Amino acid sequence: MMKNRFKQIAILTIVITLFTTLNARISQLDPIELSGDRGEYAEGGTWKSNSLLGKTNVLIYTDPDKFSDLKQFVTDIENEKMKNNNFDLTFIVNTEATMLPTFVIRSKIKSKAKTSKTINYVLDNDKVLVDEWDLRDNCINILVLDSLNQIQYQQTGIVRPDQFKKIIEILNNSVVDWNTNQLKR
């Protein structure tokens, strides 16, 4: 009887901990700077995570080997951005997560950066965000950040249609909340 009670309490504690962890918001992401050997904007220049402040952001952090898995999501989120320019889109490539030479990745991303008006392209050459923001290495990481860099949504892996719908809902709500707060000032 006592063993069963202990097992029930242990299981309940684990479930509550998992639920809390999965649904917790990080109060604010630590500021990060990518420059020099650590990384930078694809076209050159220091990238600072504080540049994300002030506007809702969709941040994609990925292994270059996962580009093809992201194609549909990037197209869909770019289309949404065209309709609703109240959020920014930042695409950060983890150049350490692949066997491809960095110069090949840089060339490909730099080319995309020149033609894109909707995406900010950044290179992370030293897995800085993996270490400092605890993102998954060798994966696709999607974060939706509010104007204070608080995580409103986070996932790892390919975005399914129901998850995309949830992201759009969060973006729309975050934009409404931000606009409402601006009007109160």
What pLDDT sits at residue 83? 87
Domain total in the chain: 1
- Predicted local distance difference test score (pLDDT) of residue 11: 60
**CA distance linking residue 95 with residue 88, whole number of Å:** 22
73 domain-assigned: yes
Q: Is residue 47 part of a domain?
A: yes
Distance CA 150, CA 162 (A): 22
Instruction: Name the least confident of 17-26, 52-61, 67-76.
Output: 17-26
Q: Which domain holds residue 58?
A: 41-184
Structure tokens at 114: 């020149």
The enclosing domain of 125 has a CATH number of: 3.40.30.10
Per-residue model confidence as pLDDT tens digits over 87-121: 999 999 999 999 989 889 999 999 999 998 899 99
- Between 26 and 75, residue with greater pLDDT: 75
* Confidence (pLDDT) at 102: 86
What average pLDDT does this structure show over 63-72? 94
Mean pLDDT for 153-170 is 93
- How many Å is the Cα radius of gyration of the chain? 19
Calpha distance 148→27 (Å, rounded): 9
In a domain, 24, yes or no: no
Task: Give domain status of residue 17, yes or no.
Answer: no
At 146, phi and psi to the nearest 5?
Answer: -80, -175
Supply the pLDDT for residue 132. Answer: 94
Separation CA 42–CA 147 (nearest Å): 23
Nearest 5°: phi and psi at 150? -90, 135
Rounded CA-CA distance 109/37 in Å is 17
Task: Look at residue 9 and tell me if it is in a domain.
Answer: no
> What mean pLDDT, rounded, does the chain reach?
84
Q: Is residue 136 part of a domain?
A: yes
Taking a C-beta distance cutoff of 8 angstroms, is the pair 95, 124 a contact? yes
- The pLDDT, as a whole number, for residue 82 is 87
Work out the average pLDDT over 1-16.
57
Residue 15 inside a domain? The answer is no
* Chain centroid to CA 155: 8
Which residue, among 153, 148, 149, has the nearest Cα to 172 in the 3D structure? 153
Structure tokens at 38: 């650590």
Give the DSSP letter string of 107-164: HHHHHHHHH-SSEEEEEESS-HHHHHS-PPTTSEEEEEE-TTS-EEEEEESPPPHHHH
* Greater model confidence, 23 or 80: 80
Quick check: is 19 in a domain?
A: no
